[in-house]
């Protein structure tokens, strides 16, 4: 069982990284294989809507870091998506990543018409979380909702969506045992949820 922890924060060692690290530690303690991914380090171009992938079933417009991530996504049983809040939404790095999952969709010839994802029906699950400076989680706006809804339609069952408010300054989560425990417990529970579903 393999879980990818995907960090959409530009800060390599910020609070989002700390939370994902705790979650992945929980994954390992529960017997899963964990891999950490820092999206800005992959230099992913934003989708330009060229539609080539509708026919070719893969992105041939950009040969960037996303090409390294496609095989990992296909092999992983679960993914953890984490992003700090930027103007009530996910960061542009996380948005670019999600938009570049478009090649997994199959569309009918009729426009508009029905569509499906080739990642559906494979037992894949996602854990989604957001981080924000303000105390009230409502200040997160669409951060969690946007990631959740977008990844769900790609074919992932949403295991959980978590909010980590009141974290801004570097090292904030590292000084907050309750947030770290919450994150590690979530990683353990996420891993345990695959028992009996992965051959």
Euclidean distance between CA atoms 117 and 141, whole angstroms: 27
Per-residue model confidence (pLDDT) at position 196? 61
State the alpha helices, DSSP H only, in 2-133. Answer: 15-29, 52-56, 66-75, 92-99
| Per-residue pLDDT tens listing for the chain (199 residues) | 999 999 999 999 999 999 999 999 999 999 999 999 999 999 999 999 999 999 999 999 999 999 999 999 999 999 999 999 999 999 999 999 999 999 999 998 888 889 999 999 999 999 999 999 999 999 999 999 999 999 999 999 999 999 999 998 989 999 999 999 999 999 999 999 998 654 3
User: Of the candidates 130, 127, 147, which has an alpha carbon nearest to the alpha carbon of residue 190?
Assistant: 127
pTM higher than 0.75: yes
State the alpha helices, DSSP H only, in the chain. Answer: 15-29, 52-56, 66-75, 92-99, 143-154, 177-192
Q: Which CATH superfamily is domain 2-192 in?
A: Flavodoxin domain (3.40.50.360)
Per-residue model confidence (pLDDT) at position 113? 87
């Amino acid at each position: 069982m393999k879980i990818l922890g995907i960090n959409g924060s530009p800060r390599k060692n910020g609070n989002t990284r700390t939370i994902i690290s705790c979650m992945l530690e929980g994954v390992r303690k529960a017997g899963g294989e964990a891999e950490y991914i820092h999206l800005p380090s992959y230099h992913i171009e934003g989708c330009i809507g060229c539609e080539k992938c509708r026919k070719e079933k893969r992105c041939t417009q950009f040969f960037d870091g996303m090409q390294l991530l496609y095989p990992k996504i296909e092999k992983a049983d679960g993914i953890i998506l984490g992003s700090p809040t930027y103007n009530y939404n996910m960061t542009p790095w996380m948005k670019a990543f999600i938009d570049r999952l478009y090649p997994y969709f199959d569309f009918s010839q009729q426009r508009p018409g029905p569509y499906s994802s080739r990642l559906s029906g494979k037992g894949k699950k996602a854990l989604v979380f957001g981080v924000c400076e303000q105390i009230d989680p409502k200040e997160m706006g669409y951060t969690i909702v946007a990631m959740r809804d977008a990844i769900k339609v790609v074919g992932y069952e949403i295991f959980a969506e978590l909010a980590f408010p009141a974290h801004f300054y570097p090292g904030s989560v590292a000084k907050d045992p309750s947030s770290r425990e919450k994150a590690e417990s979530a990683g353990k529970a996420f891993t345990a949820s695959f028992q009996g579903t992965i051959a």
